[in-house]
Amino acid sequence: MAARKVALLTFLAAACCAVHAPSTAAWSTAISHKHSPGSTGPAAAHPPGMHIVIAVHQEDVNEVEQYVEKLLGIRSVAATHPRIFIYCKGTPVFVAQARDRGFAHEVIELPNVGREQETYLWHIVAHYDRLPEHVFFSQALANYEELLLGRLQTLFSPRTGALGLGLVAICTCEGYSDLWAGHGPGGFIRLREVWALAQGTLCPHEFACFHNGFLVASRARLHLQPRKLYEYLLGLFATPANHPLRANEELYKHVKSNLPDEWPTWGHVMERSWNALLNCTDVEVAYGCNTPCESEDCSQLERCQCLDDGTPHAGVAPI
């Protein structure tokens, strides 16, 4: 176990500082400019194989466009004919620019609440009954671009159930993560409760958890939870300070950690909750993602993700 942890940390140290050279993307398509959430055009009636959900805050539109091109340059992603959703929080200029450029199918403005996690829940709630085979949730730019593109390239397939595209760690039920020395920062007390809601069991000691807010989830995995649970979790972002849920702030906030006060605690709980919601919690997934592959075939699909059973959806090319 200790050796694996050393390997994990070594790998992460390497992964964190690598910069990926832009790849050429084959990306040309006619794009419409719908921006009303829940719109029911012909495309919505027959969802494509993937939604790419991008949560923008104040990023540069050129960089976001380049990022989208890189995603679409990955064959297995392009094969799904993804529909691109750009969600903007507090950036009217970006909204206008993105609509003008036309690199997304839908550009949607949301109130600036809850960062990317609130956006992801919003998307699921809005599309719950028409989810495509996969939803790729992403911040506007990759934290670890080489890692993200590499994993998509080698691991994403029609059988992907849940795949973390940021750092994948081992978390405790309070959100302490082995990515930080001494298992900090953490103290996200509510994580234990979200686990119980999602899994119907008490939280075990530790589990694999995706970090950074980048993941691919299949419809089958997203549908493991009822829509009303996503609605409930979404609503928690708007819990007023005088609500009984917040009477004991210690339960709501991180405790005994050095996280800056302005970090949204509930967002961090959500960031660490996807594994329980998507039932992809085995710590071996985290080890598989973080141990440098030493065998000949490093593209074994099960190494660093949770796969769905069953035959791939017709029309989605296998990689």
Q: How far is the CB of 69 from ligand NAG (least distance, A)?
A: 35
Q: How far is the CB of 200 from ligand NAG (least distance, A)?
A: 9
Q: Which has the closest alpha carbon to 265: 204, 317, 194, 178? A: 194
Least separation, in Å, of the C-beta of 124 and ligand NAG? 17
How do 106-110 and 83-89 pair as beta strands?
parallel
Cβ nearer to ligand NAG, comparing 220 with 259: 220
Cβ-based nearer residue to ligand NAG, 164 or 187: 164
In 3-state terms, the chain is what percent helix, strand and coil (to 5)? 40, 15, 45
**Of 66 and 279, CB closest to ligand NAG:** 279
Which residue of the chain is nearest ligand NAG when measured via CB? Answer: 279
Output the smallest distance, CB 89 to ligand NAG, in A.
Answer: 33
Indicate the residue among 143 and 279 with the shorter CB distance to ligand NAG: 279
69 vs 308, beta carbon nearer ligand NAG:
308
Residues 53-82, mask of contacts with ligand NAG (x by CB under 6 A): ------------------------------
Strand order in the sheet with 106-110: 106-110, 83-89, 50-56, 134-139, 215-218, 160-164, 306-307
Output the CA angle 279-301-173, nearest 5 degrees: 30
User: DSSP code of 313?
Assistant: P
Distance of closest approach, residue 232 Cβ to ligand NAG, in angstroms: 19
Q: Considering the complex, what minimum distance in angstroms separates the CB of residue 173 from ligand NAG?
A: 17
Which of the residues 238 through 257 are near ligand NAG (CB under 6 A)? none
The residues with which 109 forms a beta bridge, in sequence order, are 88
Comparing CB distances to ligand NAG, the nearer of 265 and 275 is: 275
Minimum CB–partner distance for residue 197 and ligand NAG (Å)? 14
Q: Which of 212, 117, 211, 116 is nearest to 170 (CA)?
A: 211
Q: HEC string of 10-79? A: HHHHHHHHCCCCCCCCCCCCCCCCECCCCCCCHHHHCCCCEEEEEEECCCCHHHHHHHHHHHHCCHHHHC
Residue count, binding to ligand NAG (CB under 6 A) = 2
> Closest approach of Cβ 52 to ligand NAG, in Å?
25
Cβ-based nearer residue to ligand NAG, 71 or 276: 276
Compute the least distance from the CB of residue 279 to ligand NAG, in Å: 4
Of 134 and 221, nearer to ligand NAG (C-beta) is 221
Residues in the chain: 319
Which residue in the block uniquely carries the two structure tokens 């605690």? 265
Nearer to ligand NAG, 56 or 171 (CB): 171
One residue of 66, 97, 153, 279 binding ligand NAG per CB under 6 A? 279
Closest by Cα among 58, 144, 134, 136 to 95:
58
224 binds ligand NAG (CB under 6 A): yes
Q: Which of residues 281-310 bind ligand NAG (CB under 6 A)?
A: none
Q: What single-letter DSSP state applies at residue 308?
A: P
- Please name every residue paired with 215 in a beta bridge, in sequence order, or none if there are none: 137, 164
Amino acid at position 266, single letter: W
Both tokens assigned to 143? 């934290």
155-194: which residues touch ligand NAG (CB under 6 A)? none
Footprint of ligand NAG (CB under 6 A): 224, 279
